Amino acid sequence: MTRTVIRGGLVVTAAEELNADVLIEDERIVALAAAGSSAAEWTADRVIDATGMYVIPGGVDAHTHMELPFGGTSASDTFETGTRAAAWGGTTTIVDFAVQSVGASLREGLDAWHAKAEGNCAIDYGFHMILADVNDASLKEMDLLVGEGVTSFKLFMAYPGVFYSDDGKILRAMQRGADNGGLIMMHAENGIAIDVLVEQALAAGKTDPRYHGEVRRELLEAEATHRAIKLAQVAGSPLYVVHVSAASAVAEIAGARDAGLPVFGETCPQYLFLSTDNLAEPGFEGAKYVCSTPLRPKEHQAELWKGLRTNDLQVVSTDHCPFCFVGQKELGRGDFSKIPNGLPGVENRMDLLHQAVVDGHLTRRRWIEIACATPARMFGLYPKKGTIAPGADADVVVYDPNAEQTISAETHHMNVDYSAYEGRRITGKVRTVLSRGTVVIDGDNYLGRAGHGRYQPRATCQYLDR
């Protein structure tokens, strides 16, 4: 047995902050003790000095797309490169999306994603399932998947002809989820209307990346969010709205929550830190910022921060879906609708949110709540993941709150040739990362290995009585 003690840090969880030492035996946390108490007598094989540091749970990023085939190409991070980059950024668990292809079963999709991930991940991982073909067989399969730990299902009101489901299919999947405990995750944009606007924009010669943001109108995110909420209400199903970017969509979620409905909302760093100004950067630079839902005008950011503070939004995930500028984003030169949708960010989330603490948008505990504890609870991983407590997996980050860094593609570890946050100064930096008790990051050294990360079957959403 290996005993590790993390000494002298400020332990920050969603619930409390205390100066405490943390004792780890092999893969688990076994004790916390106030500094200077019985902890002084703990013997250990390895002592990590955390004086002046925060000791926080490893981040849980509940929305990533490693190796996703999309827009005629594939996301540029594999499970190996993407999970390694996540570790560098203090994230120790991801929940990625396995994809059902139209005409195929959920099982085929899930098996394919297991094959991509198994033996390759640096950190632990789980899967949601994208339902691209709702029919009698796939509805039945949902029950089986819930039973084996794939307890959440993403549906799309966007991308007709690719992942899109109509309202009838959505309602049927929601009814099934209400029954089997699967949480429905919704990409809420009116894709049918958006496709009309795309066609009209292109016909008018509006081909630059900034038109991606213009046609994917805020109203069409709000409308779809409203419709998804009503459909969930009819089905008696909870609802988790992914990558919320529009202030009016936040208002829809807030209204539903005020009415007592089990509706949850996720936003992403790109919507909190970037805007349509980035999409409008000169030449073809805006392509770097093409994602859906799209970046919004800056004014929306204040509403997203407010939503996070008031718990109208509960989770910040990255929607990490990187495409290189050269050779991938470039597929859409002359036609913005052909730019593969998605941004890199799995490495940057914990730091950007710490910057939000420094800037006064969030408290330290709320940082940990939205980035670690709530995503773990939402997706059935708590308290194994998302907290520092006896019995939890020893997924622990020693975080230096005073270190200064500059985000750059020159220094990041994601397999993508640009950074959406190039040149941004951040106060705070990961110093040491443990994944199930193994040190995977130590200062500027990566000590992990592909295959250390283990598949995590998940319980159902822990915010709902079942």
Ligand X SMILES: NC(=O)NCCC(=O)O
> At closest approach, how far in Å is the CB of 187 from ligand X?
5
Q: Classify burial at 402, counting beta carbons within 10 Å of its beta carbon; exposed 0-12, middle 13-18, buried 19 or more.
A: exposed
Residues that bind Zn ion (CB under 5 A): 187, 319
**Token representation of residue 127:** 């899967």
Judged by beta carbon distances under 5 to 8 A according to partner kind, the member of ligand X, Zn ion, none in contact with residue 291 is ligand X
Binding mask 293-322 for ligand X (x = CB under 6 A): --------------------------x-x-
Distance, CA of 254 to CA of 313 (rounded, Å): 8
Report phi then psi at 226, rounded to 5.
-60, -45
The least distance separating ligand X from the CB of residue 422, rounded to whole angstroms, comes to: 19
Looking at the Cβ atoms of 71 and 428, the one nearer to ligand X is 71
Footprint of ligand X on 73-102 (CB under 6 A): none
Q: Tell me the residue type at 323.
A: F
Nearer to Zn ion, 187 or 377 (CB): 187
Cβ proximity of 180 and 150 under 8 Å: no
Residue whose CB is less far from ligand X, 228 or 396: 228
Residue with tokens 């319980």: 459
Q: Hey, which residues between 224 and 253 contact ligand X (CB under 6 A)? A: 243
Farthest-apart Cα atoms in the chain, separation: 74
Residues 113-152, one symbol each (x = binds ligand X by CB under 6 A, - = not), give ----------------------------------------
Nearer to Zn ion, 187 or 216 (CB): 187
Q: Specify the pairing of strand 59-64 against strand 54-57.
A: unpaired
- Scored b (16 or more CB within 10 A) or e, 405-420 reads eebeeeebbbbbbbbb
- Name which of 65 and 349 has its Cβ closer to ligand X: 65
Q: How far is the CB of 134 from ligand X (least distance, A)?
A: 17
**270 part of the interface to ligand X, by CB under 6 A:** no
CB of residue 341 to ligand X, shortest distance in Å: 3
The residue (of 55 and 188) whose beta carbon lies closer to ligand X is 188
**Closest distance between ligand X and the C-beta of residue 288, in Å?**
12
How far apart are the C-alpha atoms of 422 and 61, rounded to whole Å? Answer: 21
Q: Give the C-alpha separation, 184 to 461, whole Å.
A: 10
Q: Is 291 in the site for ligand X (CB under 6 A)?
A: yes
- Rule CB under 6 A: say whether 292 interacts with ligand X: yes
Q: Using CB under 6 A, which of 7, 169, 187, 226 touches ligand X?
A: 187
65 binds ligand X (CB under 6 A): yes
Residues contacting 41, CB < 8 A, separation 6+? none
Name the E strands within 218-324.
239-241, 263-267, 315-316
Query: How many C-beta neighbours within 10 Å does residue 206 have?
Result: 15
CB of 414 to ligand X, least distance (A): 15
Q: Is 415 in the site for ligand X (CB under 6 A)?
A: no
Q: Who's near 349: CB < 8 A, 6+ residues apart?
A: 59, 61, 89, 91, 269, 316, 317, 318, 371
Rounded Cα distance, 122 and 451, in Å:
6
319-348 binders of ligand X (CB under 6 A): 319, 321, 341-342
Binding residues for ligand X, rule: CB under 6 A, are 65, 187, 243, 291-292, 319, 321, 341-342
